[in-house]
Structure 1
Amino acid sequence: MNFINCQLFKMPSYNQEINVDLNSNENGALKTDAKDGKIDESRYVSTEQVANSTPMGLNADQRLAFALRDFLTPPSIALSDGEPSPSALGQTLPFIDEQIDGEEATQSEEEPPQCRDTDDVLNNAACRLRRWRAASRKLRRPRIINNLSTKDEKEGNVSNCNGGHTDLADRLRSLAAAGSMSASAGELLSLAPPPPAATAPPSPGCLLSPSLADQSSAEYFGSSPECCAGSAGLDSSSTGTPAPPPGPRYKLATEGSLRVCCFQHTRTVVDKILAAKFLRRWETHVLCLEEQHIISKTPSGLLENPLSYSCMQEVYCISRWDPARKYCLRIVMPHGSLLLQANDAYTRDQWYHSIMWRKNMIRYRNFLTKTVRKEVVIKELKNMVDFVMTTPLQDESVTRAPMQILTDLLSEKRESDDWEEWAENATSAAAPLLAERCATGELCALLARLCRRRPRAAPLPALAPPVRRVLTRNVDFARAPNARRLVRDYISALSAHNSGRSLVRRFVEVTHGSRASCPYPRAAPNLAAVALAALDDHYRNAASPHVCDDAEDEVLCFADILAHMCEYEDWLVVVGAILQPVPLCAGALSCPRVSARLGGLLKALAHDPRCAAHACVAPARAARLCPPSWLRAAAPSEPMLALPHEDLCLIWGDMLGSLLNCCCKRKSFLQSMSKQLPDLVLVALTAHPAAIEALCLFLEWEITNGEQTQLEIIAALQGSELGQKYYKDLCERQQNLQRLQAEGGPRRLALPVRATDADVAALLDAGALGNLECLSLAFTSVTSACAHHLIKLPSLRYLNLWATKFGDSGVQLIAEHLPKLQVLNLCETPVSDKGIEALSGLSNLRRLNLNSTKLSAEAFEILRQRLPHLQEYDIRYTEAW
């Protein structure tokens, strides 16, 4: 041979990409360019300028083998510039369908390479390529080598040929992508043999075989500082939570119209002729995907019988027909294949993933329920979780079926002795699945049982997501008692650890979130309801004289949760509303350790400036008889909270002071507090300013008429220096009030436009106004603050507040202290239904102007019923008009 002694040229390296189009060489000969004699369809791409080293005088198959010499060489051999080419090595070239043993492929350094004639080597390779091509053509499969990326040396641009897209290459590349491994072209050609005749690869990028790496469940646990610290140090390149591949998402297909074609696998010449394209018959069916099989709504023709998922050997998309707009799906059966054609690629892929999901769910259910070995079940359970987490289907039923399988696994072995260990392993394996969907009632009961039996060994990272999902999405615990039990037992398991208190605090912090306000409106009510229910269950049947024991340590964490929730401003209002009226039993209130935590909660409510927060300690309209409110439960005279007397007086005085400084400085509120006059006296003796101020208002507004009661109040005021100061100021105000209410002064009075609250106060201090019956403050700048001065005019019958800033609090005050008022003008004032409803106590009111106010129709109807003597009213430009 004249090419044996030719100079060896530099061969392409193993990382270079070589693409050969075998589809264009059906007759065994390659197309060549007649002008320059270069191979047109067979080229390789290199980053360096490599000369054409193909020897002359070779036939088509030998040229193809020479172009693939690097692919046919084992990847363990590295070439250099001074080494001979693979064609000069005496190494046996492997067949395409056999695997090379690493020990046989690696030559010893002591043994020199056995030289073989280059012509024999090329003939051997060409023979194997012809055998491979013939087998592929016989099995009616596309070629298994991709086209080569051709590089135009003159223009410098790279163009890809898509004519030879192969099935085996797609399968191997998909496996390599799913397993996060890199596979070179030489490794692809040295892998397992091609599948049987009736098999084909799945669609590219949609491999559904669960082959993900082990995930870490530490990131699912957000309620433990230790676990968070452990997960924070993980490498960012770790696998973490399984995720579906990038691309479109699909809904689980249940029904659709597709074209169907069926053909038998060709084994004889007659079968091959009958299965030809021009003899195939297509039918249109409306298919329904059921649990066990696929049926047609019109069972006739090709789909007269249901198509069972268990009989499907393989399902794949025929992507090579997409350029012709034939979006087909092939289902391989034992004796034939079924083609399903959709209108577009999205529908085709949707049906493909839906069929694969139902097929795999049947396989997982049968395997997990019949396997006895626990380690095998756990491994297969992980595979099922990976499959569910990586499927591009997004539907509730996609996770509902695996959750039911998990529930069945945990429930069927619950009577065994090692159920706790088995449930712990199964729950840890299904952690990603539990984080994606709410657990059912039966599964919640099983997980709660695991927390009760093994509180210190329970898989807390796996249970944290379902617990938080229950707290953030549950609406009514009465309909989901098992869900509430799961949250309760999970919190108890947290507190059972050595750092239980810090774990519970961290749990509340994670449930609230890092924002200023919690994004979940149901989280706070649900968490407070679980804590209160746990405390009530433990102390409901407690003995009357309370005795502390070690069993209380299990429920003190729920009192800690209520205290931790009050650290957030948005949750403080929610907790206060739930605690009004007092929802705890007497046994819980008599526990000193629980009362200490509730005392901190009451302090937080009392010191909050928002009316919605501190108003929660006041008696509610639908209050219980025992105890009606926190003012009654924390009363120093008959306390229900087991706190020291000094702490009770301080807390009770703070609650009373917050109410008086806000919206409860009214006669009606003090009248309701007259039953707790002994508590006011006890707190006033401790020099608390709120109680002293309340006693002064009792005397000033004449709430108590008994002489003995007034003497007791005066004695309590004189019992401290601060009380004496308040009583001295009260006496001075009473003297001024007597001078103000003395007979004399004008009957009608109107203030100028620029008058303010200070002008009104100065007017009343000027002299006697006992005869004043008509006062006009129209178009002035007075506010509700001047109501404290107007109530000193008990003979006032006409009051004009047109176009002022007089609000609801001022209207409520004058409605209680000016019973002789007959005419009231509130036109163009910011009063609302809250203040207008208080006017129902003015029985002598005859004329009322509510023009351009925030009056509603419902409030006006109530006002008309309670004021039957109202003769004239103006409600224009209101909702009631």
Structure 2
Amino acid sequence: MNFVSCRLFRMPSFSQEINVDLNSNENGALNNEVHKESTNTDVEGRYEQNEQVSDNMLPGLNADQRLAFALRDFLGSSAVTVVDSGSSPSTLGQTLPYIDEQLDVEDTTQSEDENLQCRDTEEVLNNAACRLRRWRAASRKLRRPRIIDNLCTNVEKEGNSSKTCNGGHTDLADRLRSLAAAGSMSASSVELLSLAPPPPAATAPPSPGCLLSPSLADQSSAEYFGSSPECCADSVGFESSNTSGAPVPPPGPRYKLATEGTLRVCCFQHTRTVVDKILAAKFLRRWETHVLCLQEYHIVSNTPSGLLEHPLSYSCMQEVYCISRWDPARKYCLRIVMPHGSLLLQANDAYTRDQWYHSIIWRRNIIRYRNFLTKSIRKEVVLKELKNMVDFVMTTPLQDESVTRTPMQILTDLLSEKKDSNDWEEWAENVISAAAPLLAERCASGELCALLARLCRRRPRAAPLPALAPPVRRVLTRNVDFARAPDARRLVRDYISAVSAHNSGSALVRRFVEVTHGGRAACPYPRAAPNLAAVALAALDDHFRGQPAAAHVCADNEDEVLCFADILEYMCEYEDWLLVVGAVLQPVPVCGGAMSCPRVAKRLRNVLHKLALDSRCAAHSCVAPARAARLYPPSWLRAAAPSDPLLALPNKELCQLWGDMLGSLINCCSKRKSFLQGMSKQLPDFLLVALTEHPAALEALCLMLEWEVTSGEQTQLEIIAALQGTELGQKYYKDLCERQQNLQRLQAEGGPRRLALPVRATDADVGALLAAGALGNLECLSLAFTSVTSACAQHLIKLPSLRYLNLWATKFGDSGVQLIAEHLTKLQVLNLCETPVSDKGIEALSGLSNLRRLNLNSTKLSAEAFEILRQRLPHLQEYDIRYTEAW
């Protein structure tokens, strides 16, 4: 058993020297020779150290390394005299980490002489604690890789070999890590901590709700306009690594914020002394089981009695750290140092202990940051503490709703506190720049969005756009309903206005749309396109509503909203977003004042042109809804009509745009005859566009004459005159006359009643056969197992008496089925077995009211489409739906 001999002194003042000699050996002899070393420039003071090398000290060490090794064990065999007369009281009064020494606990009983010796040692321990107060002042000199190793491990020699075991000052390393997590560690301590090995992580698997979601902070700042708004016009590449320097949580499990749990509690009246003997002596410990509740400002017990009769306030906690060396003994404890004692909380596993540790640290620091940020006056100090809070929030492993909401509320209170002052804009810029990582990771509330939008409105060219880009992008990609979040929509609108206010505003807006869409072929966020289009249309409507559409005069304030028309145009550059823009623009959501502006109308023309030239029906059909000729709300065919236009475009551009939209609709697989019937009221527009020799208008006029869409001799003469007015129109009219003569000859009475084509027949063979002679009596036609496609439907619709049509095992598709369903109204039997038709074409058969028998065997028929078909065809007697989804 080792005995400690010491000479006791009074507690020194700040100007006095501290002389403590601690000698421990088996013989109890004092055999120390002290010599003085030269004073180091980093620390003002003298260190008198034992010249004799202890048994555990490694050979070949310099003076600093020997001093670091001696600091490893303040109660070891080395006698250290520290003289530091130059330290200031402010340096000595800082909060420092304290060390819990690990002693041998093999013999838990002591003799009376040993107990007397322990009482004598207590004052030495108190004096050692005073020496530890100077540890920070001395740590500036001890920035060596060996010191943190000595704090975490002990080297024990066994003969010629050495082994490393956990012990020594394990709690000091634990406490250093705790201080680093709380953000209250000095720079020198952080440097020492970076050399220490990480503590063992809890191995309990996290719950599914605690897993990390994809983080916006993982993306580089260049994706959000880089370090300045101007650099985004040139930077088009994305970086996959996190180069922005944003703090991220440490690796390991994630925790929910603890609110209530059952823990064992032990309390003892020691705060700054070594507590190893108390922890090891079982008869000195009294454990109680409590159900603890973590409230906002206190820790309370559901049974307030015994050790937890009074609540524990977070503000009174001096230190909170885990005692990791008890883990091998399955005693997972957490120590809380209070002003008049310490409290041990014991959990059942390491995961629960770590969860409570991080939860207490969170409550304690959030209270501190909230009080400091709301009550401090010096702005530079507030900004520094705000950065510390952001680093703490971003590095905590907690994931909970309150963890997300509380820091954003503190930021909101900080911005709204001085919003009536004259220098609020400059203050808000500094605060937002400091809180940029937090804004990139957390959802902004409505009040915070209103404050950010206010900054963008007041100082658009000076607003910190890189810091505001992540919350704006989060609103666009994750917001569901702007009607319930008007402040969020206002933030997006004002941010886009601020971006366009720069010198390269157009390039910045294009870059913003590109970043919002992402680098993939399809945008991964389904809400981004509707939200962005809604913001652009709302901005145009707010600016131009109430302005007269007839006498529009361009003003300088229109430059502020032209960027929103540009956004609609830039969105159409992406195929997946083009469909979204077309759906939002149906019917016309733009007021007449906006369409009467030539600059807005020019951008809308580009949008409509891209919709019209798109080959997808879902895109070009957006320019003409079911009732295309209605006056209000108008369709784009009505808004761009050359006879009475709503778009302020030149007549030539209007005719070209209207003809392009008409051509896409006529060549589409929709019902052309019903479409032209609905557009018969816009016949003057057809005539005006036909006079510009647009092929779509000429084809539409020919179809009106051929299908007798228009009624009245005067109307037909107007159409013929328009066709003969141009050289290209005369060619179209000549072809129409030839088709009419062939049609009359085809529909003349005579010819066979039944006809079947051979297997090798094609679409050209069907056309040649029907042009060969009169087939007006043809009632039954079989094209089974031939190579015909939907292109032969334009010949089949010329047979007015056709009642039976067999298309078994052909390539007849949806467009052909829609065409025959519109013209062959007398059809009674139809065989589409083993054809590529789908629900789109099958639903068109609902117009065949005389249909009695239908074969849809081995097609792409769905159960929903078949139910709709049965409801619309009540006279259907026989049907075959085998080998379909409806079977």
Same fold by TM-score greater than 0.5 = yes
With over 3 angstroms needed to count, the CA separation of the structure-2 counterparts of 1:302 and 1:227, relative to structure 1, is farther
**Offset of residue 635 of structure 1:** 0.7
Corresponding residue of 2:34: none
Is 1:304 the counterpart of 2:301? The answer is no
AA of the residue aligned to 1:535? L
The normalised TM-score by structure 2 is 0.78
Q: How does 1:224-239 map to 2 (within 5 A)?
A: 226-228=230-232
Structural mapping, 1:452-463, within 5 Å: 452-463=457-468
Q: SS of 1:258's equivalent?
A: strand
CA distance in 1, matches of 2:238, 2:85: 42
* Native 8 Å contact 2:269 2:341 kept in 1: yes
CA separation of 1:69 and 1:844: change in aligned 2, threshold 3 A: closer
2:334 alignment partner, SS class:
strand
1:76, distance to aligned residue in structure 2 (A): 14
Alignment of 1:423 onto 2:428 = yes
User: What residue identity is the alignment partner of 1:164?
Assistant: G
**Aligned residue for 1:628?**
634
| 1:733 lines up with 2:739 in the alignment | yes
1:787 to 769, 793, 801: 793
Q: For 1:183-214, what per-residue CA distance to the aligned partner results, in whole angstroms no more than 9, with x for missing partners?
A: 899x99xxxxxxxxxxxx997999xxxxxxxx
1:255, CA displacement in angstroms? 2.3
Counterpart selection for 1:655 from 642, 650, 661 = 661
Deviation string, structure 1 residues 534-560 (Cα, Å, up to 9, x no partner): 000111111342111111111111001
RMSD: 4.0
What is the match of residue 334 of structure 2? 329
Counterpart pick for 1:73 among 37, 55, 63: 63
Secondary structure of the 1:758 match is helix
Is residue 2:605 matched to residue 1:599?
Answer: yes
CA distance in 2, matches of 1:97, 1:204: 38
Equivalent in 740, 745, 758 of residue 752 of structure 1: 758
- Give distance in 1, aligned partners of 2:630 and 2:172: 76
Report the equivalent of 1:389.
394
1:699 aligns with 2:702: no
Partner of 2:35: none
What letter corresponds to residue 490 of structure 2 in structure 1? R
The equivalent position to 2:25 in structure 1, one of 28, 32, 41, is: 28
1:19-41 Cα distance to aligned partner (Å, 9 max, x none): xxxxxx9953599xxxxxxxxxx
Kindly tell me: are residues 204 and 175 of structure 1, through their superposed partners in 2, closer, same or farther at Cα, counting changes over 3 Å?
farther
Q: CA deviation at 1:141?
A: 13
Percentage of identical aligned residues:
79
Structure 2 Cα separation of the partners of residues 622 and 394 of structure 1: 53
Contact 2:757–2:783, Cα closer than 8 Å, also in 1:
yes
Judge which range, 850-859 or 741-750, deviates more: 850-859
In the alignment, the residues of structure 2 paired with residue 634 and residue 229 of structure 1 have an alpha-carbon distance, to the nearest angstrom, of: 34
Task: Give secondary structure in 1 for the equivalent of 2:53.
Answer: helix
Superposition map of 1:77-96 within 5 A: 95-96=81-82
Change (3 A) 1:444 1:169: closer
How far apart are the structure 1 equivalents of 2:180 and 2:286? 38
C-alpha separation in 1, matches of 2:441 and 2:126: 44
Question: Does the aligned pair in 2 maintain the 1:174–1:205 contact within 8 Å?
Answer: no
Distance 1:555 1:381, change over 3 A: same
How far the C-alpha of 1:721 sits from its partner, in A, is 1.6
Counterpart among 830, 841, 856 of residue 850 in structure 1? 856
Between the aligned partners of 2:660 and 2:219, the Cα distance in structure 1 is: 50
| Residues 1:804 and 1:169: Cα distance change in structure 2 (over 3 Å) | closer
Are positions 1:684 and 2:687 aligned together? no
Question: How many angstroms does 1:228 deviate by?
Answer: 4.6
* 1:341 and 2:338 are equivalent in the alignment: no
Conserved 8 A contact 2:229-2:465: no
Instruction: Report the CA distance shift for 1:376/1:219 in structure 2 as closer, same or farther (over 3 A).
Output: farther
In the alignment, the residues of structure 1 paired with residue 238 and residue 814 of structure 2 have an alpha-carbon distance, to the nearest angstrom, of: 58
Which residue matches 1:551? 557
From 262, 274, 280, give the equivalent of 1:257: 262
AA at the equivalent of 1:721: E
Q: Greater CA deviation, 238-247 or 760-769?
A: 238-247
Deviations 1:805-831 (A, max 9, x none): 322221221122112222222333333
Unaligned runs of 5+ in 1: 1-24, 32-58, 78-92, 103-129, 189-200, 207-214
2:54 alignment counterpart: 64
**Secondary structure of 1:261's aligned partner:** strand
CA contact (8 A) 2:544 2:591 kept: yes
8 Å Cα contact 1:620/1:629 also seen in 2: no
Q: Is the 8 A contact 1:221 1:227 kept in 2?
A: no
Find the partner of 1:487 among 471, 492, 506. Answer: 492
Please, which of 125, 129, 144 is the counterpart of residue 135 of structure 1? 125
For the Cα contact (< 8 Å) 1:633–1:639, is it kept in 2? yes
1:161 to 152, 165, 188: 165
User: Is the contact made by 1:773 and 1:796 (CA closer than 8 Å) also made in structure 2?
Assistant: yes
Deviations 1:383-440 (A, max 9, x none): 1111111222233322311100011111122112221111111111111100001100
Per mean C-alpha deviation after superposition, the further-off stretch among 667-676 and 272-281 is 272-281
- Aligned pair in 2 of structure 1 residues 367, 742: CA closer, same or farther (>3 Å)? same
Partners of 1:233 and 1:829 lie apart in 2 by 47
Is residue 572 from structure 1 mapped to residue 562 from structure 2 by the alignment?
no
**1:63 Cα deviation (Å)?**
3.4
Q: Secondary structure at the match of 1:317?
A: strand
> Do 1:566 and 1:604's aligned partners in 2 also have CA atoms closer than 8 Å?
yes
Cα contact 2:754–2:780 (8 A) shared by 1: yes
Which residue identity is paired with 1:382?
K
Q: Per-residue displacement from partner, 1:567-620 (whole Å, max 9, x unpaired)?
A: 112111111111111110111111100000111111111122222211211224
What residue is the counterpart of 1:809 in the other structure? 815
For residue 151 of structure 1, report the CA deviation from its aligned partner.
8.5
Change (3 A) 1:26 1:402: farther
Give the CA deviation at 1:842.
2.5
Name the CA distance, whole Å, in 2 between partners of 1:361 and 1:257.
Answer: 24
Deviations 1:748-791 (A, max 9, x none): 11122332222211211222111111111223232222111100
Alignment correspondent of 1:316: 321
- Give the C-alpha shift of residue 489 in structure 1: 0.4
Query: Could you tell me whether the CA contact under 8 Å between 2:291 and 2:303 is conserved in 1?
Result: yes
Larger displacement relative to structure 2 (368-377 or 161-170): 161-170
1:258-277 CA distance string (max 9 Å, x none) = 21111222899999989943
For the residue of structure 2 that corresponds to 1:64, the secondary structure is: coil
Q: Which amino acid aligns with 1:759?
A: D
Stretch deviating more after TM superposition (285-294 or 242-251) = 242-251
Q: What is residue 119 of structure 1 aligned with on the other side?
A: none
Cα distance, 1:487 vs. partner?
0.2
Q: Which moved more, 1:352-361 or 1:666-675?
A: 666-675
Tell me the CA shift for residue 707 of structure 1. 1.3
Q: Is the 8 A contact 1:217 1:428 kept in 2?
A: no
What are the superposed Cα offsets for residues 153-198 of structure 1, whole Å, 9 maximum, x if unpaired?
978xx7423332344466568889998978899x99xxxxxxxxxx
- Spell out the pairing of 1:505-520 with structure 2 (5 A cutoff): 505-520=510-525
Deviation of the 1:670 alpha carbon: 1.3
Distance 1:634 1:295, change over 3 A: same
Q: Equivalents in 1 of 2:696, 2:373: separation in Å? A: 69
Name whichever of 176-185 and 590-599 sits farther off: 176-185
1:471 aligns with 2:468: no
Single out whichever of 541-550 and 351-360 deviates more from structure 2: 541-550
Aligned pairs, number: 764
Q: Which moved more, 1:220-229 or 1:526-535?
A: 220-229
Output the amino acid matched with 2:125.
Answer: A
Given that residues 174 and 324 in structure 2 are in contact (C-alpha distance below 8 angstroms), is that contact kept between their aligned partners in structure 1? Answer: no
The change in CA–CA distance for 1:629 and 1:146 in structure 2 (over 3 A counts) is closer
Alpha-carbon distance, 1:101 to partner: 8.3
Q: Distance in 2 between matches of 1:793 and 1:267?
A: 104
State the match for 1:222 in structure 2: 225
Q: Which amino acid aligns with 1:752?
A: P
- Determine the structure 2 residue equivalent to 1:435: 440
